[in-house]
A and B are shown apart, each in its own frame.
Chain A
């Protein structure tokens, strides 16, 4: 692996000071399961790695009742999976986390890291889009919330500057009596593989009102919400196979899949239809069987 300096700050103040000093030559690391591979392959060649995993204050999952959940940059995917509140409130995200890499790597890979890698196939991004998660972006003197569609602007590209750090993810808690969801993806093998196509479908129910959300991954330069598909679902009281087909058509119109080593453009179009049907059907079944789980 190419040589680099390593700076392990004890707190955010130290991290910001370092970034302001060396901003053009540093990269940030939290779990590092993407970054170390990218350095080994020569995809990035940083002069210095600032390792946020040494900052204890970024290890927390904080539930703010009635408002939202704040997830620190160092929280691993397995900690998300094991967190009872996360499981209850954001089931599609849990399913996506369980699909990511494998049970051992998930001890190291972090949720914020998966978002910040900003790869088109990032498993956790479609459900986070459904849940309208925001990145908490800080500098030494400012803090702002950035919705994920404004953070991720292209494959491996984020909109924030070199002196900013995504310190947390904020997931708002909508008013709901019920939250169900599903994440379904196609991949060549179940573990240790990247998605060929992925669909997240979530449903919040509040006093009889239903709020469906739909997002896809690995099918366009960045994961996206499919608002037309959501409109069809939210305007229909009786969702049958014909409606599911209309939703799938709306998804196909919203994506631009490519042919790459993991699958062809044609295959991705075809499998997306199945994934939409499957995730929607799961969502509806779970809504019937998990009444009151929120």
Chain B
């Protein structure tokens, strides 16, 4: 099947790929080495393939690769973080024991990233609602909900003068 040119911004950098018309964004990302994006159910149910497209969390198994032409796609690989450090959401997942087998974690982190942009001080109920499309078979969810709250607190701390540069990961 002939391939088509696709140009979009991936994790802050413009990329030019060749993809088949029926390729999902999930397939295209993984075939090009972006393997944080996990292939789970491929039916939009598990959320393991969640990425952020133009500020909105999306399940990449239900997005055709050619749909992101000209758009901006963010995956865990592109989360802003100070050198040698994790993004505060990733750190919160580690600190709260919200990662067990880890397969669902990138999807949860990207859903959380988009969610906290619009809900900087979420309630437990809002968190449960926002994460309802991401499934985890290990943690029982409580540690994940705690991690989202911890991440929200970390992201809401004011930036101290002089620490803006590499520490400012928002």
- In the complex, which residues of chain A have a beta carbon less than 8 angstroms from the beta carbon of B131? 103
A53's partner among B59, B67, B129 (CB-CB below 8 A) is B67
Find out whether the CB atom of B50 lies under 8 angstroms from the CB atom of A104.
yes
A6's partner among B22, B61, B130 (CB-CB below 8 A) is B22
How many residues in B have their beta carbons less than 8 Å from beta carbons of A? Answer: 31
Find out whether the CB atom of B63 lies under 8 angstroms from the CB atom of A108.
yes
- In the complex, which residues of chain B have a beta carbon less than 8 angstroms from the beta carbon of A40? 42-43
Q: Mark B1-22, 1 if CB is under 8 A from A, else 0.
A: 1001000000000000000111
Find out whether the CB atom of A2 lies under 8 angstroms from the CB atom of B22.
yes
Q: Which residue of A lies closest to B129 (CB)?
A: A103
Kindly state whether residue B79 has any CB partner on chain A within 8 Å. Answer: no
A192's partner among B56, B69, B132 (CB-CB below 8 A) is B132
Find out whether the CB atom of A105 lies under 8 angstroms from the CB atom of B44.
yes
Find out whether the CB atom of A36 lies under 8 angstroms from the CB atom of B58.
no
Q: Which residue of A lies closest to B118 (CB)?
A: A82
Kindly state whether residue B57 has any CB partner on chain A within 8 Å. Answer: yes
Q: Mark A72-115, 1 if CB is under 8 A from B, else 0.
A: 00000000000000000000000000000111110110000000
A102's partner among B42, B64, B69, B133 (CB-CB below 8 A) is B133
Find out whether the CB atom of B132 lies under 8 angstroms from the CB atom of A190.
yes
Find out whether the CB atom of B64 lies under 8 angstroms from the CB atom of A51.
yes
- In the complex, which residues of chain B have a beta carbon less than 8 angstroms from the beta carbon of A105? 44, 59, 62, 133
- In the complex, which residues of chain B have a beta carbon less than 8 angstroms from the beta carbon of A37? 43-44, 62
Find out whether the CB atom of A3 lies under 8 angstroms from the CB atom of B57.
no
B8-52 interface with A by 8 A CB criterion: 20-22, 24, 42-45, 47, 50
A1-41 interface with B by 8 A CB criterion: 1-6, 8, 32-33, 36-37, 39-40
Kindly state whether residue B105 has any CB partner on chain A within 8 Å. Answer: no
Report how far A102 CA is from B47 CA in the complex, Å.
Answer: 10
Interface residues of B (CB under 8 A from A): 1, 4, 20-22, 24, 42-45, 47, 50, 56-59, 61-64, 66-67, 69, 111, 115, 129-134
Interface residues of A (CB under 8 A from B): 1-6, 8, 32-33, 36-37, 39-40, 49, 51, 53-54, 101-105, 107-108, 190-192
